[in-house]
Amino acid sequence: MQEYLLMIVAAMFINNIVLIRFMGNCPVVGVTSSVDSALGMGAAVVFVTTMAGTTCWIIQKTILEVLGIEYLQTLVFILVIATLVQFVEILMQKVAPPLYRALGIFLPLITTNCMVFGVSVLNIKEEHSFMETLVFSMASAVGFAIVLLFMAGLRERMDSAGRVPKLLQGVPITLITAGMMGLSFAGLMGLD
């Protein structure tokens, strides 16, 4: 039990997928101008990453490794993720229209979110078991959502402050903020 707890803390904060592993930066820079859309995007990513991580793990173990074609991992995983995202979109539209209205517009963006793919590959690379895959995928995605949310809040504040020097307005200040956030996350290093 303890090892899963450690894994969750590590994936969410210490090795934060956005700030330390540098994945999923595009949405952090692009979507985070309002807390509402950050929440929607975050929830959609947690859902898709967990689904994709576990599905890819199963495919890797039952098909690719059995047949000895691990080198096709990249091709197969991305195919799986693209299909999965589109499938979830179609399904959600039918089964849970309110959910679709809240998260739906973010789904197409997720196919190219390097985080989903990156987490799937990391699961294999770090030789996680199925349970570890499940936990790691979800915790990483939650870590992403946390950064997205923090960043949206900070940006709302910064926009109202109006004190950002002209040359740093927009993306530059977001990146610098991310750097500062990374520093403070690195302060949790002693936790593991």
Partner 1 sequence: MAARIVNEFTKGFWKEIAPLRFALGICPALAVSTKVESALGMGFAVVFVLCMSNVLVSAVRNIVPDKVRIAVFISIIATGVVIVELVMQAYFYPLFLVLGIWIPLIVVNCVVLGRAEAFARKNPVLLSLSDGLGMGLGFTLSLVVISSIREILGDGTWLGMMVLPEAYPGFGFLLRPPGAFVIFGLVLGIMNVISARLENKTA
Partner 2 sequence: MSLREIIQMVLVLTIVAAVCAGGLAAVKMVTMEQIEYQQIKFIKEPALKKILTDYDNDPISDRIQLVTGKDARGRDVSTTFFLAKKGSQLVSLAFESTGSGYGGPIGVMIAIAPEDDVVQGIAVTTQSETPGLGTKIIDDPSFSAQFADKPLSANFSLSAAGGQIQAITGATVSSTGVSNAVNRGIELYQAVKPELDL
Partner 3 sequence: MGPVLTAIVTVGAMGMLASLILGVAAKVFYVYVDPRIGQVGDLLPGANCGGCGYAGCTDLAAAIVQGNAPANGCKAASPEVAANIATLLGISVEAGERQVAQIFCRGDAAHAERKFIYKGIKDCRAAQLVSGGDKACTYGCLGLGTCVEACMFNALHMGANGLPEVNTDLCTGCGNCVKICPRHIPRLIPISQMAATYCSSHDIGKVVKEICEVGCIGCGLCKKVCPEKAIELDKFLSVVDPTKCNGCGKCFEKCPTGVIQAVVLTSKSLKMAA
What is the binding site for partner 1 (CB under 8 A)?
19-26, 29-30, 71-75, 78-79, 82-83, 86, 111-114, 116-118, 121-122, 125, 165-168, 171-176, 178-183, 186
Contact 144, 18 (CB under 8 A): yes
The owner of tokens 């109202």 is: 160
Chain residues 64-103 in contact with partner 2, contact rule CB under 8 A: 69, 71-72, 75, 79
Residue 21 interacts, among partner 3, partner 2, partner 1, none and using kind-specific CB cut-offs from 5 to 8 Å, with partner 1
127: left (phi over 0), alpha (psi -120 to 50) or beta: left
Choose from partner 3, partner 1, partner 2, none: what does 25 bind? Cβ within 5-8 Å by kind: partner 1
Query: Mask: binding to partner 3, 17-36, rule CB under 8 A, as x and -?
Result: --------------------
Please state, in angstroms and rounded to a whole number, the distance separating the CA atoms of residues 134 and 79.
20
Binding partner of residue 180 among partner 1, partner 3, partner 2, none, CB cut-off 5 to 8 Å per kind: partner 1
Task: Supply the Cα-derived Rg of the chain in whole angstroms.
Answer: 17
Task: Establish how many alpha carbons lie within 13 A of residue 137's alpha carbon, considering only the half-sphere containing its beta carbon.
Answer: 28
> Would you give the binding string for partner 3 spanning residues 58-77, x where CB under 8 A is met?
-----x---xxx--x--xx-
Q: Identify the H or E element spanning 2.
A: helix 2-9
Tell me the C-alpha distance between 10 and 93, whole Å.
35
Catalog residues that contact partner 2 under the rule CB under 8 A.
69, 71-72, 75, 79
